[in-house]
Amino acid sequence: MPKLCINIDHIATVREARKTIEPDPLLGAKLAIEGGANGITVHLREDRRHINDRDVLLLSQFLKSQPSLFTLEMAATDEMLSISSKIKPGLITLVPEKRQELTTEGGLNVTGQKQYLEKYLESLHKNNLMVSIFINADKEQIKTAKDIGADFIEIHTGPYTENPSEIELNKVKEAISYAKHLGLKTNAGHGLNYENIIPIARIQDIEQLHIGHSIISKSVMVGIKEAVREMKQLIKNI
């Protein structure tokens, strides 16, 4: 069974909508683990639009006894190299990052920046960090990720989730079996939800599923009745 890692960025998105202190991603992480999450994932973006440096620090302290539970998604920049080397998450996932995007739009182009990324991975490995690269289900990209020393890859499931056809599912399956054949460990994520997860969860050899938006969305809906009841109770009791 693949491990379920919860991306809690959007707890921080709601907090940042008001620039206040709630909802708190750290409390969200604790509750997610109580609910059975095998890991917590956050993306520290250059623009800090949701998760910020303090969140990353607090999460890393909370998960210190089991650092393997903590995945930090980040762009391959000098700033992130320095932060991750201090924080020491269990896994780093390198992702492409554009300022205007609403979410990560595609896999990292590893073949297009092979030399740069090879050096970058060397620096991360020197700091004893384990590295995954978020990539499209593309053999050339997967092979290059292996060649430059990635420990894991994360297959971008976005094309499948946008068009959940046999063709797109097979591309994910083939990418995962090719990665396994090369000796890479494989994760998968992006756009996975309660409707499209089953065929992906059934694929052999996926180590971790990284899921964010659909779980945070569901949390709002399963929690809203109770939240209203609590407020009603307070108002009634005056």
* Minimum distance of ligand PXP from residue 184's CB (angstroms): 16
Active-site residue, 43 included: yes
Query: Quick one: residue 97, left, alpha or beta (phi over 0 = left, psi -120 to 50 = alpha)?
Result: beta
Nearer to ligand PXP by C-beta: 198 or 228? 198
Nearer to ligand PXP by C-beta: 146 or 190? 190
Per annotation, catalytic residue among 43, 50, 156, 210: 43
Active-site residue, 105 included: no
Tokens of 24: 């708190």
* Minimum distance of ligand PXP from residue 155's CB (angstroms): 10
Distance CA 40, CA 220 (A): 18
* Minimum distance of ligand PXP from residue 129's CB (angstroms): 16
Nearer to ligand PXP by C-beta: 64 or 193? 193
Residue 148, C-beta contacts closer than 8 angstroms, at least 6 positions apart: 110, 114, 117, 118, 121
Tokens of 116: 């740069």
Query: What SS3 class is residue 68?
Result: helix
Active-site residue, 73 included: yes
* Minimum distance of ligand PXP from residue 230's CB (angstroms): 28
Q: Which residues bind ligand PXP (CB under 6 A)?
A: 7, 9, 43, 73, 93, 95, 103-104, 134, 154, 189-192, 210-214
Neighbours of 189 (CB within 10 A): 26
Residue 198, C-beta contacts closer than 8 angstroms, at least 6 positions apart: none
Nearer to ligand PXP by C-beta: 162 or 233? 162
Closest listed residue to residue 107, CA positions, set 91, 92, 96: 96
Catalytic residues: 43, 73, 190
